[in-house]
Structure 1
């Protein structure tokens, strides 16, 4: 909730609110966003996009550098040519590029405001038209069969202020606006764990109701990336919607790794054999950084990769951190025995292939840490590729066998 401005702090979290207050606030903010939509003025016309009649054409919102998109594309390729062949090709850029056109999912349009992430996206998805524009100013979205997007999450994060009326919490309405215009058969939306508890659960409930009102059967689940082959403890919410006129029930896939299944992927598995780790963020460790453990063992999964070089977890090598007191840890021995994970290493932990390029701004006159931080930010904001693949597989397999149904239904809706 927003309180009166006091000094430099404009916002204060308010704990003593009830569900009616939360719902009233949400509805007011939705009305505000709808008024903004009505006032959009734009002469921009989309170019002719690379639609394919034999594929599920995809729109990506809040695309960032493309972790969610790449995972969905990989799922679509696995559905078409088989899991083993797709994963083998995924290791090599040329092989993957030679085969990626076979994926059932074909991305035609993406939107984001993060300049460096957009450049990374262009380097890795050269066939996709990208619109670098505030989504609130996009007047018309193209038609599509599937919409993806991890709508911005700072206002939902447990690490942030968790303000119910943070304006960033309402960008999902423009995701829904895209659904109403694009009329896809399905959508995949991703967000942070904090979304499940914000406003005593009323925020998520309102979001689900809004997606349902757009004509979709909605399934929501909190999942942990390590349960799907990602070497990282990372809990995220996946909201998946299927258009109500289709005879398909999406079910989030069961974990593939863990007790009684395939063993969890460890840091040793992911980064233990890297001969040249590349560059990493260098600098001292603040009291805030040392307020908790930042180092996992080789046989464990990484802490959540954050969108910051300075906050990157420590490499498993060297002595373990030692707890001195509540919120106080130390790095034993010389600081040279401890370093942050490198850009290449966190990309591996986020299950990006080594060939994936992350643009650093290109200005060699900018301090190296600042250039690296742009890469850390892109990677930390991304959805782990293999987690995205897992969540998209049920859609890929159904779409492969029902593409005519999808296309015929879309044709009727778009008349």
Structure 2
């Protein structure tokens, strides 16, 4: 296969890259500001150029040095950090006039578009949380669209569910995509729909064999040591359900039970893997939360892909990633379009 070239911004643990590399794309540059993500890249893909720095400092001179001024980039990919747009947890306003509440993560899409304008790839795909569309009454979404319009790229957006593309996980994300070569783009065709003919992949299929595997830090498979009270709570959660808060004895009650007190179902796709804490949802039949490796399986990372840093950072690396199988669907579609483009020149 021809090695079409990509640049990956906000690459995190590299889920987007994995999908594209599976389809024969060559990563010219991967970049993120997080030191533990840098360790992940050096551990798993030491031969792929990685630059750890703030995207605001990624100047044209630096891009020329690492990408090459005359390098022909085919696709720009990336997912600007999304916590400022998320519907989970405390959110802050993107309004610069409200300085005490301003979250700079809400504006990182502008840096993605700045670099898009400079590199001028033929295609681009940018991923973010669905909450971007409604945040601040839709003002951020309108700004994103207007900024893309100014690039001259033909673009569109779509909300896709990872379960429809082979991941054992209900995960809705918005993808902005476009090109400057006159292609009428459509999203990748789903492979699953939950029907008998095209069933969703399930949690049991993804992680069932790991239930009997002993703790092994070398593969990120280490169970959290839960306290006795939480284990008693977990034992009350039905498979596929949540903690029955109104039926708890007084000694087990507390305020603010969240996603960490929901149990997955072995015969269904998972809840969305949410980063930012040490505890993923509860295992379908064991009274503990998922290990990092189990969450990575649900995100469709390969077993030989190792996450680095403290456990909380590993959870964030897994939970923030674009599922590789979903990225591969985009890559396969774009490879077909690039084959036609180069074949017609």
Q: TM-score range by the shorter chain?
A: 0.7 to 0.9
Contact between 2:260 and 2:282, CA under 8 Å: does it hold in 1? no
Q: Does 1:312 align with 2:280?
A: yes
Note the 1:83-122 alignment, pairs <5 A: 103=24, 105-122=25-42
Question: Residue in 2 aligned with 1:300?
Answer: 268
In structure 2, how many angstroms separate the alpha carbons of the residues matched to 1:203 and 1:307? 23
Tell me, yes or no, if structure 1 residue 250 matches structure 2 residue 180.
no
The answer on 1:171 being equivalent to 2:171 is no
- TM-superposed deviation, 1:402: 2.6
Superposed counterparts of 1:120-159, under 5 Å = 120-140=40-60, 141=63, 142=67, 143=71, 144-159=73-88
Partner of 2:235: none
Runs of 5+ unmatched residues, structure 2: 96-102, 215-220, 231-253
Shift of 1:192: 0.4
Structure 2 CA distance for aligned equivalents of residues 118 and 128 of structure 1: 11
CA RMSD of aligned residues (A): 2.1
Residue 156 of structure 1: how far off its partner (Å)? 0.4
Where in structure 1 are there 5+ consecutive unaligned residues? 1-51, 77-102, 319-337, 361-370, 409-415
Output the CA distance in 2 between the equivalents of 1:189 and 1:294: 30
Deviation string, structure 1 residues 37-69 (Cα, Å, up to 9, x no partner): xxxxxxxxxxxxxxx9x5321111000110011
Instruction: Give the corresponding residue for 2:324.
Output: 385
Instruction: State TM-score, norm by structure 2.
Output: 0.80
The TM-score normalised by the length of structure 1 is 0.67
**1:156 aligned counterpart, secondary structure:** coil
- SS of equivalent to 1:306: coil
Q: Report the CA distance between 1:291 and its aligned residue.
A: 7.4
Q: How many residues align?
A: 295
Please identify, of 126-135 and 301-310, the stretch whose mean Cα deviation from structure 2 is larger.
301-310
Contact 2:259 2:281 in 1 (8 A): no
Query: What SS does the corresponding residue of 1:171 show, helix, strand or coil?
Result: helix
Task: Determine if contact 2:82/2:128 at 8 Å carries over to the other structure.
Answer: yes
In our comparison, the structure showing a higher alpha carbon Rg is 1
1:350 deviation in Å? 0.3
The structural deviation recorded for 1:187 is: 0.7
Contact 1:217/1:242 (8 A) holds in 2: yes
- DSSP 3-state at the match of 2:209: coil
